Amino acid sequence: METIERKPRSREQTRSGIITTAKSIARREGWQAVSIRKIADAIEYSAPIVYEYFDSKDRLLDEIRSEGFRHLSQEYERILKLYRDPEKRLYEISLVQWEFARHQPEIYQVMYNLDGAYCTMPVYQSETMQAVSQIVRQTIFSFIPKSEESIKRLYFQWWSVSHGTIMLAMLLKDEQPLDQSEQIYRETMRRFVRDLR
């Protein structure tokens, strides 16, 4: 029996390899096609090795979801540094949300359990998601200093409009070009921000 040679990799490299592979399969074939064995094949290991890095498939998905929210929160922070005007900030944050969903749809899917992606952990219990919503709520607050309850409500509305439009755009992308949906999205979010005044 010959020893198969495998490029030596650090633990961290293998771990991120698993995540990257999962995402790339999801992007190509959809989340329902992502299996532990397929991931293991791609990283040239046997299936149980994946469990050395993640307790379960569920936890793997949860990690990818958290990674998504972390990425989003970093982008939001970038916007906050870039602009001072709260209106501009909220609008730009909205655009980041769109860009994210458009360029990394498989992550957006696992974040919200869309299109066959299914992660058991409730989204709202994710700390990284809490961080994201904190940023948006504060931005709205610096804009409309009202009670916490009102801010929560406005945030809920902002999120609904943004998420709803994005979801529908993805759903109808074969019928209605994404560029057209993007135009509507921009207009909708601009109006939402304007109407906050």
Partner DNA sequence: ACAGTCGATTTAACACCGTTAACTTATGAC
Partner DNA sequence: GTCATAAGTTAACGGTGTTAAATCGACTGT
Among 7, 12, 48, 81, binds DNA (CB under 7 A): 48
Cα–Cα distance between 80 and 187 in angstroms, integer? 21
97 contacts 165 by C-beta, under 8 angstroms = no
Q: In the set 51, 83, 118, 141, which binds DNA (CB under 7 A)?
A: 51
Distance CA 197, CA 186 (A): 18
Closest approach of its own copies to the CB of residue 132, in Å: 14
Which value, to the nearest 10 degrees, does the dihedral of the CA atoms of residues 128, 97, 32, 174 take? Answer: 170
CA–CA distance from 115 to each of 29, 37, 107, 112, 169 (Å)? 11, 21, 11, 9, 13
Which of 119, 129 has the CB closer to DNA?
119
User: Dihedral sign, CA of 6, 11, 13, 15?
Assistant: positive
Q: Report the distance separating Cα 77 and Cα 31, nearest Å.
A: 29
User: Looking at beta carbons only, is 63 or 75 nearer to DNA?
Assistant: 63
- Greatest Cα pair distance in the chain: 73
Contact characters 19-58, its own copies, x per CB under 8 A: -------------x--------------------------
Q: Is 122 in the site for DNA (CB under 7 A)?
A: no
Residue 3 contact, options its own copies, DNA, none, Cβ 5-8 Å cut-off depending on partner type: DNA
Q: Which of residues 55-74 bind DNA (CB under 7 A)?
A: 55-58
Selected range binding DNA among 37-45, 62-70, 83-91, 154-162, rule: CB under 7 A: 37-45
Asked if residue 99 binds DNA (CB under 7 A), the reply is: no
Q: Which residue ranges make up the site for its own copies (CB under 8 A)?
A: 32, 112-116, 118, 122-124, 152-153, 156-157, 159-165, 167-168, 171-172, 174-176, 181, 184, 188
